[in-house]
Amino acid sequence: MIRLALCALLLATGGASAQSVAELYPEEILAGDRPRFEQRLRQFFRHGLWDFLDGPEKQALADAELRFPLLGAHRHPFDFYAGAERGRPTIWLPVLSLKVIEDLSVAWAWRQVHGYSLEPFDEYVAMLKYRTPADFAGGRYPEPLVALGVPAEIWQQEPAVDDLSLRLRNSAWAFILAHEMGHLRYRHPGNAAVDPATSQRHEREADEFALDLLARSETIPMGAVLWFQATVGYFPNRADFATDTGFLDWQQQATHPVNSERLQSLALALERAAGDSLDPTHAEVLRFIATRLAAIAKTLAEPDMQRLIARKAVQGDPEDLKRR
């Protein structure tokens, strides 16, 4: 009975709060950051990644356009997608989503550098999913840096935090961009146009394309861990649905369905890359990333663990996110 009641609560809050999460930052903040984000992502596309494409890949992506709306079509904080606009291949990189990734990178770096617990990172993302704005001070969702107690302008005070946060942010952005490029490269239709199994296969193909392209550009995909840890905590999982059918229906509509098999495939690909690497340090980092992704995959494969995370998010005190 308790489990059924919690499931009903999670389904209600998880769906109803999505629109409000789009108000995480004032619109003027997002508008002010858009030129900076657009310049950086276009640089990634035209120089950091484009130069490492082969002939057929360049041909497939020759007319690709990047769009930077303040909010994505689904109005949530992890809303990246690719498709066609007026027949032209297009990648949408909403400013809200880029901003969330940047701030989470700073929060992760600050906690990592100081040896603080990383658990509040996962708890914060789960609270965005399961709580309403009224549960937080001021009646609105707090920005990541505020919620996690990160000192103001910490990147200006601590070079180690600045360096690590930039590496996390840049590699996360690069992985996301390369993944969307992969969808365009293989001309994948939207997930709603195919069955869930095909959708998952397309996601794995885009992941593999991204890893391969980042390897060619000598970019270590450390930010992929942050990206998947955040999205796995925010997107619906099996524990949020009463039946397998309901979960499969969601996966077919989701822009980036994530499951344990997808993350295990990524982890195995990184393990293979580590085995092929002639640089022991590089191989060690790739294995670390693979281990982290495998751990996230394990959580996704265990609905009871997912329910525990959800229960903590629903019952926890938002002020406890600042603990160190």
pLDDT tens figures, 163-191? 999 999 999 999 999 999 999 999 999 77
Domain carrying residue 149: 2-25+105-322
Residue 41 to residues 54, 98, 146, 204, 285, Cα–Cα distance (Å): 20, 10, 25, 23, 24
Q: How far apart are the first and last CA of the chain?
A: 35
For residue 91, tell me if it sits in a domain. Answer: no
For residue 40, tell me if it sits in a domain. Answer: no
Pairwise CA distance, residues 245 & 251, whole Å: 10
What residue ranges in the chain does DSSP mark as E strands?
Answer: 65-67, 81-85, 88-92
Task: Decide if 68 contacts 42 (C-beta within 8 A).
Answer: no
Residue 17 pLDDT? 45
Q: What are phi and psi of 66, to 5 degrees?
A: -100, 135
For residue 224, tell me if it sits in a domain. Answer: yes
Task: Decide if 252 contacts 259 (C-beta within 8 A).
Answer: no
For residue 173, tell me if it sits in a domain. Answer: yes
Residue 2 pLDDT? 31
For residue 18, tell me if it sits in a domain. Answer: yes
Alpha carbon 225 to its chain's center: 8
pLDDT band, very low/low/confident/very high, at 315 (cuts 50, 70, 90): very high
Residue 7 pLDDT? 43
Residue 105 pLDDT? 97
pLDDT band, very low/low/confident/very high, at 252 (cuts 50, 70, 90): confident
Pairwise CA distance, residues 274 & 294, whole Å: 15
For residue 282, tell me if it sits in a domain. Answer: yes
Computed over every residue of the chain, the mean pLDDT equals 90
Give the three-class secondary structure for 253: helix
For 206, the enclosing helix (H) or strand (E) is helix 196-216
For residue 120, tell me if it sits in a domain. Answer: yes
Q: Which of 9-13, 103-107, 303-307 has the lowest mean pLDDT?
A: 9-13
For residue 86, tell me if it sits in a domain. Answer: no
pLDDT band, very low/low/confident/very high, at 148 (cuts 50, 70, 90): very high
Q: Which ranges of 134-222 does DSSP label H, i.e. alpha helix?
A: 144-147, 154-157, 159-185, 196-216
Q: What are phi and psi of 194, to 5 degrees?
A: -135, 170
Give the three-class secondary structure for 90: strand
Q: How many domains does the chain have?
A: 1
